[in-house]
Amino acid sequence: MPQHFDAVVIGTGQGGSPLAVRLGKNGRKTAVIERGAFGGTCVNVGCTPTKSYVASARVAHVARRAASYGVQVAGDVTVDLAQVKARKDRIIGESRSGVEKWLRGADNVTVFNGHARFTGPHTLSVSGHDGQISAELEADEIFINTGTRAVVPPLEGLERIRYYTNSNLLELTELPEHLAIVGGSYIALEFAQIFRRFGSRVTVIVRGERVLAREDADFALAIQKVLAREGIEFRFGAEPQSVEPLPGDGVRVSFGNAQPAIEATHLLFATGRRPNTDDLGLDAAGIATNPHGIIPVDGALRTQVPGVWAIGDVNGRGAFTHTSYDDYQIVAANLFEGGNRSADTRIMAYAVFVDPPFARVGMSEAEVRESGRPALIATMPMTRVGRARERGETDGFMKALVDADSKQILGAAILGIEGDEAIHTFIDIMAAGAPYPTLEYAMHIHPTISELVPTLLDGLKPMK
């Protein structure tokens, strides 16, 4: 006889954990099922570990530039990857244990360790690593929060080499001599800069003709220029066809368009992610996925089966930690506060944590132009920002896009020091539905990055 719960949450990522606690707090008898490490992708192999590496890499970079600030550092600056990893592991461990302790101590919440599979629309089995079923559950409400995993292309010879994804690259304790990275988007570029600053030779293999194909070309090329200046090599128009082992753990990557092969000591694939939905028994629940494994949901994040929701990366509505947490907030508001919140009205915002960071909210310039609407545009180089000059970090620029008729901000982007923080001036105004003069006329603190946002808006001109 299955154990009955009012609600079951599958997965303890950034949406699932707070939702489980909130369900219990509101009197629902709640079960949480976690098959791996508590905290999901962000805590264990995503944001937390990679941003700790970004921090270490930045320290090394600044130390090498110390003389330009009048600071003398004796000897060469080197990186001990084992110590960098140990620091990362301490940070992860604190976060992971904190999430687990929080869940196990929450009112009306029972934690199950194991793999969840649907056996019906509202029934689940929980099994261990040996495949043996340890529990059977039924619930009125089920919330799927199982995250994503790295995708590795099926190249010829892949089974003969040692390769890495974002997860196991973080387990290295010795620096790669030469790291080759397949991919040209966020994860690829962040790891490229990290390991180049650590001291590795880095080659980025890009299928297209530039990095960050989803972004405006001016931002993408500016980021590429910064990375190339730091010594990162790029190979464009290159699609790997096969791989083969070299002595040691090295690898040769060959291409199908007469490009010369690349030989490296380590190979990282940063070629996308796939939802962890293929082993959930969704067929038994009557839940279909699209060809990419994503579970379709409505604006309230409900699946096609009544009483079953999909939140976080699995629903294809964002694939960021902050969108996952916003999914939790949408569900909680609708369930407990009589709300009518919808992901359909969410304004997308995100950052690429290269240094300097790139952050964007709303529409890109390309998207605005494609829409055909009358619009205003303004750009401003970071060389005009006092804090950037004082810090000696003037790479990048700002851009804002405004609807010419309504004066609503359509989108904004910042490539530059602290741009990942300054972008929130735009995010908040857009979320409030306020016209751009509200931000243009605001008094900002000097000297900051955000203080130049009103000046940027002063320069709006019709888009040509």
How is residue 209 written in tokens? 């003709």
What pairs with residue 255 in β-bridges? 240
DSSP string covering 305-330: STTEEE-GGGGTS--SHHHHHHHHHH
How is residue 145 written in tokens? 């929060």
Whether omega for the bond prior to residue 356 falls within 30 degrees of 0, making it cis, is yes
Name the helix (H) or strand (E) containing 440. Answer: helix 436-440
* Closest by CA position to 194, among listed 60, 89, 54: 54
Q: Are 54 and 73 in contact (CB under 8 A)?
A: no
Catalytic residue among 4, 61, 178, 446: 446
Identify whether 446 is a catalytic site residue. yes
Measure the CA angle with vertex 200, ends 243 and 359; round to 5°.
Answer: 95
Question: Nearest 5°: phi and psi at 124?
Answer: -140, 150
DSSP string covering 88-110: HHHHHHHHHHHHHHHHHTSTTEE
Residues near 86 by beta carbon (within 8 Å), at least 6 away in sequence: none
Q: 3-state SS of the chain: helix, strand, coil percent to 5?
A: 35, 25, 40
- Distance in angstroms (rounded) separating the CA atoms of residues 444 and 242: 54
How is residue 85 written in tokens? 């990893």
- Distance in angstroms (rounded) separating the CA atoms of residues 448 and 341: 34
CB-count burial class (<10 Å; 0-12, 13-18, 19+) for 379: middle
Rg of the chain (C-alpha set): 24
Name the helix (H) or strand (E) containing 451. Answer: none
Q: Which residues form the catalytic set?
A: 446
